[in-house]
Protein backbone atom coordinates (compact mmCIF):
# COMPACT_ATOMS: atom_id res chain seq x y z
CA UNK A 1 0.00 0.00 0.00
CA UNK A 2 2.76 2.43 0.96
CA UNK A 3 4.71 1.49 -2.15
CA UNK A 4 1.76 2.23 -4.45
CA UNK A 5 1.18 5.61 -2.74
CA UNK A 6 4.84 6.50 -3.25
CA UNK A 7 4.64 5.48 -6.91
CA UNK A 8 1.48 7.55 -7.37
CA UNK A 9 3.12 10.58 -5.76
CA UNK A 10 6.25 10.12 -7.86
CA UNK A 11 4.18 9.83 -11.03
CA UNK A 12 2.20 12.98 -10.18
CA UNK A 13 5.39 14.89 -9.46
CA UNK A 14 6.92 13.75 -12.76
CA UNK A 15 3.83 14.79 -14.74
CA UNK A 16 3.58 18.18 -13.06
CA UNK A 17 7.30 18.81 -13.64
CA UNK A 18 7.02 17.91 -17.32
CA UNK A 19 4.01 20.21 -17.74
CA UNK A 20 5.87 23.07 -16.08
CA UNK A 21 8.99 22.48 -18.15
CA UNK A 22 7.13 22.96 -21.48
CA UNK A 23 6.46 26.64 -22.09
CA UNK A 24 4.90 26.43 -25.56
CA UNK A 25 6.45 27.57 -28.77
CA UNK A 26 7.26 31.24 -29.15
CA UNK A 27 4.66 32.75 -26.82
CA UNK A 28 4.19 36.51 -26.90
CA UNK A 29 2.62 36.27 -23.44
CA UNK A 30 1.34 33.36 -21.33
CA UNK A 31 -1.55 31.71 -23.16
CA UNK A 32 -0.92 33.52 -26.47
CA UNK A 33 1.20 30.99 -28.34
CA UNK A 34 -0.51 30.92 -31.75
CA UNK A 35 1.81 31.02 -34.72
CA UNK A 36 0.87 30.73 -38.38
CA UNK A 37 2.17 27.70 -40.22
CA UNK A 38 4.89 28.35 -42.81
CA UNK A 39 3.31 29.94 -45.86
CA UNK A 40 0.17 31.06 -43.98
CA UNK A 41 -0.11 34.86 -43.71
CA UNK A 42 0.02 36.57 -40.33
CA UNK A 43 -3.03 38.66 -41.34
CA UNK A 44 -5.86 36.67 -42.95
CA UNK A 45 -7.87 39.71 -44.12
CA UNK A 46 -7.17 40.40 -47.78
CA UNK A 47 -5.25 37.17 -48.36
CA UNK A 48 -6.34 34.12 -50.33
CA UNK A 49 -7.41 32.54 -47.01
CA UNK A 50 -9.94 35.34 -46.29
CA UNK A 51 -13.41 33.70 -46.23
CA UNK A 52 -15.17 36.88 -47.49
CA UNK A 53 -18.49 36.21 -45.74
CA UNK A 54 -21.68 37.59 -47.22
CA UNK A 55 -23.10 40.28 -44.87
CA UNK A 56 -26.66 39.08 -45.55
CA UNK A 57 -25.74 35.59 -44.38
CA UNK A 58 -24.12 36.97 -41.24
CA UNK A 59 -27.21 39.08 -40.40
CA UNK A 60 -29.72 36.22 -40.73
CA UNK A 61 -29.53 35.31 -37.05
CA UNK A 62 -30.00 38.87 -35.81
CA UNK A 63 -32.97 39.29 -38.16
CA UNK A 64 -34.59 36.09 -36.93
CA UNK A 65 -34.09 37.16 -33.31
CA UNK A 66 -35.82 40.49 -34.01
CA UNK A 67 -38.73 38.65 -35.64
CA UNK A 68 -38.95 36.26 -32.68
CA UNK A 69 -39.06 39.15 -30.22
CA UNK A 70 -41.84 40.81 -32.25
CA UNK A 71 -43.89 37.58 -32.16
CA UNK A 72 -43.32 37.24 -28.42
CA UNK A 73 -44.46 40.85 -27.93
CA UNK A 74 -47.71 40.10 -29.80
CA UNK A 75 -48.26 36.96 -27.72
CA UNK A 76 -47.64 38.86 -24.50
CA UNK A 77 -50.03 41.68 -25.45
CA UNK A 78 -52.75 39.17 -26.38
CA UNK A 79 -52.22 37.29 -23.12
CA UNK A 80 -52.58 40.49 -21.09
CA UNK A 81 -55.78 41.49 -22.95
CA UNK A 82 -57.59 38.16 -22.97
CA UNK A 83 -55.83 35.97 -20.42
CA UNK A 84 -55.42 33.30 -23.10
CA UNK A 85 -52.04 32.26 -24.49
CA UNK A 86 -51.99 31.67 -28.25
CA UNK A 87 -48.81 30.22 -29.74
CA UNK A 88 -49.64 30.85 -33.41
CA UNK A 89 -49.41 34.63 -33.91
CA UNK A 90 -51.50 34.41 -37.12
CA UNK A 91 -54.49 33.35 -35.01
CA UNK A 92 -54.37 36.51 -32.91
Indicate if the pLDDT at residue 8 is higher than 90: no
- Is 33 in contact with 26 (CB distance < 8 Å)? yes
What integer best gives the mean pLDDT of the chain?
80
Mean pLDDT of 15-43: 69
* Domains with residue ranges and CATH for the chain: 54-92 (4.10.160.10)
Q: What would the pLDDT profile of 75-89 be if each residue is shown by its tens digit?
A: 999 999 999 999 999
Stated pTM of the model: 0.45
pLDDT at 59 over 90: yes
| Gap between the Cα atoms of 28 and 14, Å rounded | 27
Across 17-41, average pLDDT: 69
Amino acid sequence: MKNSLKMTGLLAATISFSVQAYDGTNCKEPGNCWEPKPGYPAQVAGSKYDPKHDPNELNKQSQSIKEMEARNQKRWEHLNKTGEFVYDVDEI
